[in-house]
Structure 1
């Protein structure tokens, strides 16, 4: 079914808003002192729906500040790189330079690290630092220690507080980069890893001992970029030039700009390649590229891991599996039903055992991040409605008892990703709250909803008299 990524719950809002002293139903836990932040695409100006890809919309961060049982403010702000500032009619912004390419505003995730608020994106595009009030400070390259962009999905080691990541870009060619950002916000380690082409790698997995790399069949499509960027008589030589340049030299501005150009028909320059095998790589955390072991799996694509952990000589990965991606629908992630799958990578036997844990259509899996890289029992995900309509249901997976609890918010509601915050540092795995946005479609309003993680019952709701469009990822960022 064709999805219009500019209508309904995905329709962009046209204004930045600041609202204070928000009404609350129920009682917010007093310990919640910080900001709930959520990032997502919100295109500036008029867009051609046929040419628009959901992943290329200008980034907008939404935030709610909680303190002492009150909701002090709601803010939404566009993430301002040079392009967004120009479209908004504002003074020029500095380009990303070594931080990455300035194609779209960082639109995928938003985190707190080393006292900074960071709007994240992938593909070699510039990440941007924000103030506590969500205004853009400027490009982020981790104090000059990491060039060429980052990832939308770093994993924080719960023991050390460091951020681990695997980053890709068509400017890197057939390599991805593993990096570790220390607690001071600087890269202390990078490893360049050869993979099977210039691929799109949205996520990876981390365990106590290993990094798990997803080398899956979605790759940079030079032919599509050439068709969108050059007239017919020169498309074949242009494609050959692009192929030769990818990963070797700085990409010329006209080619790079075509990746994010509105109305060009280029959309996202990645596409499903049925000729390429799917495989996962396992590298020791302190290893190098020569230490990666590769294991073939069935054809699929994975946007998001739930979690992974070591179990003797095996590595266990729980992932949301798509059967394929960007094959027939080139405007968004709409290529068939997903499932929650488990991959058991047997390092001794040299094989992967794949199994299905839950066949509900779902996405945006989250885990108690105190257990990132460690054995987990519970996971939370959003059930996706057939036909890619807005979801009204949150799922809680018990992977020990092999059961699923669901919470429906009603047919006129749309839910986004929920994140877990523990009741105390040493609380049990589901002793805490889940925070996420629930939109009321008829009224165009939104609640920041706080649930009991054990029961999925509502504890409190912060009422935002504004619509928050469907977006991607967010986090609870506690105050220092």
Structure 2
């Protein structure tokens, strides 16, 4: 086995440990921040964003997805703002602080003595508001971590009163009307996935498994008022990956399948719809429309890159991380079994978000990041889509700047779906970070407020809006 020093030298050519992607080791608390422009008094709550942030320099080949979770929060009230960033204190993060959790990242074989999930659980991927606090979630499926959205204090590893059946995947959803947390999970090496529901009072009220032809690697799900939409997509582990418990994936020559099932249904009630082969990382929204179930998501397209030898053994990782996708609408007819799909635009974008009050219900607007035409994953602007017409309004960042997945913050007293603000962390080429607040109904205009931050916010993953009146 290679020495730690040798592995450290390998990581020296890993671009996802340097520059925009270098970890931020300091935890800041900055109150009453300076504002360029003016913060509206009707903006109340916290914009929070998760992402990978190694707490120590990796001693093994590092994948960008491996970093310890770090959440950044900007809290607004009465025209003032305060910023904090904190590590997500998962059980594995705490174990590492105390000598080592015994598991590594996805470029190494999974630890066989840790059950099926043999990788370090970082809770570094997504955030949702449930029961007055945040749940930090992990893309491979792990144990959610409950955090306070303003202070970012880790409250506990959340096992729903001991009733958590197994794990929870990153892109589980919260119904804004019922306040239920609807989650899914998948088996890495066995032919099934599952989904369930946790009430607003943190009680597990439903759970079922769904049999599959083989192990699958879904990343997201759809949620409507009446249904869950599960993804069975033709990107899976290779046979060698399954045999050796290594993260090695391949594309299978078969259609994509979407499983539509009642939210309180069982696995044998799933209605499968086959359509063109594709992979989907992220769903914008889904809803019921008469006899049809509608889902909007970003469908991956080839990025045209080949592994760059400058990145050494990380060339293939860099190539896969160049997420090139386009917005697509799918319609599943529950009576005829027909599937219709419509591509809204050919611009490259990803990480879609909507007004959280419309999750699972018909919505008109989606706010996506624009992907820079680079090898490395960089968000060079935002795109506001009209999901009805496909029309798009662009909000580019300054040259060389990089943003984050945005969140929509409804204005206090809002009357329309887009009556509010779009918020993002933005970092310039010199590593200076700020928060930008954009008026959603004047999306192409300059930000109405910019808030310089005391430290750099590394590139990361997903964020959400925590309304001030819901923060406990």
Q: Would you say 1:133 and 2:142 are equivalent positions? A: no
Q: Distance in 1 between matches of 2:323 and 2:35?
A: 38
1:445 paired with 2:456, answer no
Q: Distance in 1 between matches of 2:323 and 2:424?
A: 25
Q: What is the aligned counterpart of 2:407 among 409, 419, 423?
A: 419
Q: State whether structure 2 residue 216 is matched by structure 1 residue 215.
A: no
CA distance in 2, matches of 1:150, 1:336: 24
1:316–1:345 CA contact under 8 A, matched in 2? yes
Q: Distance in 1 between matches of 2:364 and 2:240?
A: 44
Report how far residue 331 of structure 1 moved.
5.5
Shift of 1:223: 2.1
Give distance in 1, aligned partners of 2:31 and 2:142: 33
Deviation at 1:135, TM superposition (A): 3.2
Equivalents in 1 of 2:240, 2:174: separation in Å? 37
Aligned ranges for residues 314-325 of structure 1 at < 5 Å?
A: 314-323=292-301
CA shift in 2, pair 1:336/1:394, >3 Å: closer
Instruction: After TM superposition, list the pairs within 5 Å mapping 1:184-203 onto structure 2.
Output: 184-203=201-220
Match of 1:43 in 2: 54
Q: Is the counterpart of residue 344 in structure 1 residue 331 in structure 2? A: yes
Quote the offset at 1:330 in angstroms: 3.9
Q: CA deviation at 1:320?
A: 0.1
CA displacement at 1:6 relative to structure 2? 1.8
Candidates 152, 169, 173, aligned match of 1:151: 169
Q: State the Cα distance separating 1:41 from its structure 2 match.
A: 0.4
User: Residues of 1 paired with 2:182 and 2:76: CA distance?
Assistant: 28
Matches within 5 A, 1:9-408: 9-47=20-58, 51-72=61-82, 74-88=83-97, 103-131=120-148, 132-170=150-188, 173-221=190-238, 223-224=240-241, 239=243, 269=247, 271-323=249-301, 329-330=316-317, 333-334=320-321, 337-389=324-376, 390-408=378-396
Post-superposition Cα deviations, 1:35-78, rounded to whole Å, max 9, x if no partner, equal 221110011322378x3222221111111222221113x22222
Q: 1:122: how far off?
A: 3.3
Q: Distance in 2 between matches of 1:145 and 1:332?
A: 40
**Separation in structure 2 between the aligned mates of residue 5 and residue 59 of structure 1, nearest angstrom:** 15
Q: Distance in 1 between matches of 2:73 and 2:357?
A: 23
Q: Which moved more, 1:411-420 or 1:119-128?
A: 119-128
Indicate conservation of the 8 Å contact 1:200/1:270, yes or no: no
Distance 1:424 1:134, change over 3 A: closer
Question: Contact (CA 8 Å) 2:172, 2:181: kept in 1 or not?
Answer: yes
d(CA) in 1 for partners of 2:266 and 2:208? 6
1:474 matched to 2:463? The reply is yes
Secondary structure (helix, strand or coil) at the match of 2:379 reads coil
What is the alpha-carbon root mean square deviation over aligned residues? 2.9
The alpha-carbon distance between structure 1 residues 420 and 48, as it changes in their structure 2 partners (threshold 3 A), is same
- Rate the CA distance shift 1:331–1:26 in 2: closer, same or farther, 3 A: same
Provide structure 1 residue ranges, at least 5 long, that are not aligned to the other structure: 226-238, 243-254, 256-265
CA contact 1:419–1:436 (8 Å) conserved in 2: yes
- SS of equivalent residue, structure 2 residue 20: helix
Q: Is the 8 A contact 1:322 1:335 kept in 2?
A: no
**Shift in CA distance, 149/433, structure 1 to aligned 2, threshold 3 Å:** same
Q: Distance in 2 between matches of 1:217 and 1:91?
A: 35
Q: Distance in 2 between matches of 1:80 and 1:270?
A: 28
> Which segment is superposed worse, 63-72 or 84-93?
84-93
- Per the normalisation by structure 1, the TM-score is 0.82
CA distance 1:446–1:108, shift in 2 (3 Å): same
Shift of 1:360: 0.8
| TM-aligned CA distance change 1:381 to 1:336, over 3 Å | closer
Deviation at 1:435, TM superposition (A): 1.4
Distance 1:376 1:433 in 2: 16
CA contact (8 A) 1:122 1:168 kept: no
The answer on whether the counterparts of 1:323 and 1:335 sit within 8 Å (CA) in structure 2 is: no
> Are 2:470 and 1:461 equivalent residues in the alignment?
no
Total equivalences in the alignment: 433
